[in-house]
Chain A
Amino acid sequence: MEKPRLMDRSSTSGGGGRGARPTAHELARYEALFATRTHGMKSSAMREMMALTERPDVISLAGGLPDTSTFPPELYAELMTDVSHESTARALQYGPTEGMAATTKCIVEVMAAEGTAIDPADVIVTTGGQQVIDLVCKTLIDPGDVIVTEAPTYPGAIPTFSAYEAAVEQIEIDSEGMPIDRLEETLDRLHAEGRRPKFIYTIPNFQNPGGATMSLARRRRLVEVARERELLVLEDNPYGLLRYEGESLPTLYSLDAQAVGREAASDLVIYLGTFSKILSPGLRLGWAVAPRPVLDKLNLGKQGSDLCSSPVTQMFVAAYFHHGGWLHYVETLRDLYRTRRDAMIEALEEHFGDSATWTHPEGGLFIWVTLDERIDTTDLLAQARTNEGVAFVPGRAAYMYAQSGASSMRLNFAGIPEPQIKEGIRRIGKAISEQLGLLGSLTGSPAKAHGPILSARAETDTAPLADVVELPRRDDARERRSQDR
Chain B
Amino acid sequence: MSARAKVAVLKGGPSLERSVSLRSGAQVQAGLQRLGHDVTGIDVGPGLVGELLDLRPDAVFIALHGRDGEDGTVQSLMEALGLPYTGSGPSACIRCTDKILAKHLMHEAGIPTPDFQALRETSIRDLGAGAAVGAVEARLGFPLVVKPARGGSALGVKFASSSGELPGAMVGAFSYDDDVLLERHVKGRDLAVSLLDGAPPRALPVVEAVPRKEGFYNYEARYQIGMTTFVCPAELPADTTERAQQLAVQVYELLGCHGFARVDLMLEESSGELWVLETNVVPGMTETSLLPQAANAAGLSFDQVLEGVLAGAFDR
Contact of A380 with B175 at beta-carbon distance under 8 Å, contacts A442-B167, A443-B167 already known: yes
User: Could you say which interface size class chain B belongs to?
Assistant: 35 or more
Q: Encode B204-226 as 1/0 by CB contact (under 8 A) with A.
A: 11100000100000001001111
Complex: how many Å from CA A441 to CA B173?
A: 15
Does B293 lie within 8 Å of A48, measured CB to CB?
A: no
Q: Does A467 make an interface contact (CB < 8 A)?
A: no
The listed residue (A6, A21, A379) touching B172 by CB distance below 8 A is: A379
Q: Does B288 make an interface contact (CB < 8 A)?
A: yes
CB distance from A434 to the nearest CB of B (A): 9
Q: Encode B63-101 as 1/0 by CB contact (under 8 A) with A.
A: 000011000010000000000000000000000000000
Residue among A31, A46, A437 with max Cβ neighbours from chain B (10 Å) = A31
Number of A-B contacts (CB under 8 A): 170
The listed residue (A13, A27, A437, A439) touching B288 by CB distance below 8 A is: A27
Q: Does B154 make an interface contact (CB < 8 A)?
A: yes
Does A27 lie within 8 Å of B296, measured CB to CB?
A: yes
Residue among A43, A45, A478 with max Cβ neighbours from chain B (10 Å) = A45
Does B223 lie within 8 Å of A45, measured CB to CB?
A: yes
Does B18 lie within 8 Å of A48, measured CB to CB?
A: yes
Does B298 lie within 8 Å of A16, measured CB to CB?
A: yes
Closest partner residue, chain B, to A440 (CB atom)? B130
Q: Does B232 make an interface contact (CB < 8 A)?
A: yes
User: Could you say which interface size class chain A belongs to?
Assistant: 35 or more
124-159 of chain B: CB within 8 A of chain A: 124-125, 128-131, 133, 153-156, 158
- Contact segment of A34-42, A101-109, A180-188, A241-249: A34-42
Q: Encode A40-57 as 1/0 by CB contact (under 8 A) with B.
A: 011111101101100100
Contact of A485 with B68 at beta-carbon distance under 8 Å, contacts A31-B288, A34-B226, A52-B16 already known: yes
Residue among B18, B166, B168, B236 with max Cβ neighbours from chain A (10 Å) = B168
Does B223 lie within 8 Å of A27, measured CB to CB?
A: no
Q: Does A26 make an interface contact (CB < 8 A)?
A: yes
Complex interface: chain B residues within 8 A of A18 (CB): 298-299
Complex interface: chain B residues within 8 A of A437 (CB): 125
Complex interface: chain B residues within 8 A of A478 (CB): 178
Q: Does B234 make an interface contact (CB < 8 A)?
A: yes
Does A44 lie within 8 Å of B296, measured CB to CB?
A: no
Does A439 lie within 8 Å of B168, measured CB to CB?
A: yes
Contact of A11 with B170 at beta-carbon distance under 8 Å, contacts A379-B156, A441-B124 already known: no
Complex interface: chain A residues within 8 A of B236 (CB): 13
Q: Does B35 make an interface contact (CB < 8 A)?
A: no
Q: Does B254 make an interface contact (CB < 8 A)?
A: no
Contact of A375 with B121 at beta-carbon distance under 8 Å, contacts A14-B234, A16-B297, A382-B155 already known: no
Closest partner residue, chain B, to A2 (CB atom)? B229
Contact of A45 with B233 at beta-carbon distance under 8 Å, contacts A14-B297, A16-B298, A471-B125 already known: no
The listed residue (B155, B166, B235) touching A379 by CB distance below 8 A is: B155
Complex interface: chain B residues within 8 A of A484 (CB): 14
Complex: how many Å from CA A31 to CA B175?
A: 33
The listed residue (B124, B205, B229, B296) touching A15 by CB distance below 8 A is: B205
CB distance from A460 to the nearest CB of B (A): 25
Q: Does B231 make an interface contact (CB < 8 A)?
A: yes
Does B171 lie within 8 Å of A374, measured CB to CB?
A: yes
Q: Does B116 make an interface contact (CB < 8 A)?
A: no
Closest partner residue, chain B, to A387 (CB atom)? B175
Contact of A474 with B178 at beta-carbon distance under 8 Å, contacts A6-B230, A13-B235 already known: yes
Residue among A25, A41, A48, A484 with max Cβ neighbours from chain B (10 Å) = A48
A interface residue numbers (CB < 8 A to B): 2, 4-6, 8-9, 11-18, 21, 25-28, 30-31, 34, 38-39, 41-46, 48-49, 51-52, 55, 373-376, 378-380, 382-383, 435, 437-439, 441-444, 471, 474, 478, 484-485
Q: Could you list 15 examples of A-B contacts with CB < 8 Å?
A: A5-B229, A6-B229, A6-B230, A9-B233, A15-B203, A17-B233, A45-B154, A45-B223, A48-B19, A49-B16, A55-B14, A374-B168, A376-B158, A378-B172, A485-B68
